[in-house]
Structure 1
């Protein structure tokens, strides 16, 4: 049996910042900017954008509702406008995984954004407060779909190293909605 001294053993360590010849650099660990890189920017924008649409819509409707009631009346329907939207959104978010399995991510998003846009157009065109809760249900269905898809598609659209950052970004859209949603010009 032969003993080798530590000085005679080949070193596997290198100085910090120096690569051994032939060694590959480690794969990036998902830096802060990587989700916004050209490779992932479109997917991240769609994932976060759906939740941002939902959040902003929820908050600016709450901020505008007193003005809407002042313009078209219908105070007894006031609470139903928000309640219908929220209930529909929660119900629509429940079958998201089945919708993904059936349609795939692209077509599921297309369906969600189409229903959301239809609900938004009908909400904008509503001339009576009695019709507003009904069209807000349609709007809520689309919002629930795109928000639910925002969380459900992360694992399929991005590599595992970005899942945590993407979930954080998508969740941060609630803060964006809180800040941007109620911001509106005051009436003079």
Structure 2
């Protein structure tokens, strides 16, 4: 028997649910990956952009913005709809990613990482809320646990990808990689 306050999950065909679930986890993975991939590239970024004394802000700005924005995105999702707010969060995250890759100095990079973090806060909170809307209460813990595995995967592959991009491409690619992946998540969630 479900709790009286738990809204019943809508009936969604399994294939549709798995597609949406994959897109939600993919978007969460981008936000989690961005926390780990950048650290590997920081020495190269400092060499190209200068501003070694402000380098810690490249990561801190992202984390602060994501942390501060998370409850705000949750409230906006309650007020205006989680799907619309999730689409907005992906868009802001991708805009911040593109601009971060185009940064000409450390100040710009910090500012654009802040924008990216604002979107990332929405990706985390709203993906979990959307999963809760799609899954019956009895199954929510299991599916949200599956979604959280993206943090473990990002912790392992993020530094490897960051190092490979810096060695074989250039540091802006640690941000540009988000664009096609995020676009796929946005298209799937929007349909």
TM-score (norm 2): 0.74
Q: Which runs of 5+ in 2 are unaligned?
A: 1-13, 169-191
Residue in 2 that maps onto 1:187: 167
Shift of 1:73: 1.4
- SS of structure 2 residue aligned to 1:153: helix
Q: Does residue 82 in structure 1 map to residue 59 in structure 2? A: yes
Q: C-alpha root-mean-square deviation of aligned residues, in Å?
A: 1.8
> Cα deviations across residues 40-86 of structure 1 (Å, max 9, x unaligned)?
11221132122211111110011111111122211011011111100
The 1-side partners of 2:76 and 2:30 are apart by 20
Structure 1 unaligned residues grouped into runs of 5+: 1-36
CA contact (8 A) 1:43 1:157 kept: no
SS in 2 for 1:126: coil
Whole-Å separation in 2 of the counterparts to 1:130 and 1:105: 32
Q: Does 1:66 align with 2:43?
A: yes
The residue that corresponds to 2:135 in the other structure is 158
Q: How does 1:37-116 map to 2 (within 5 A)?
A: 37-116=14-93
* The structure with more radius of gyration: 1
Match of 2:103 in 1: 126
Give 1:96 shift: 2.6
Q: CA deviation at 1:157?
A: 1.7
Give the number of equivalent residue pairs. Answer: 153
Distance 1:158 1:43 in 2: 12
Shift in Å, 1:153 = 2.0
State the 4+ residue runs in structure 1 displaced beyond 6 angstroms: none
TM-score (norm 1): 0.76
Q: Secondary structure at the match of 1:89?
A: helix
1:141 aligned to 113, 118, 137, which one?
118
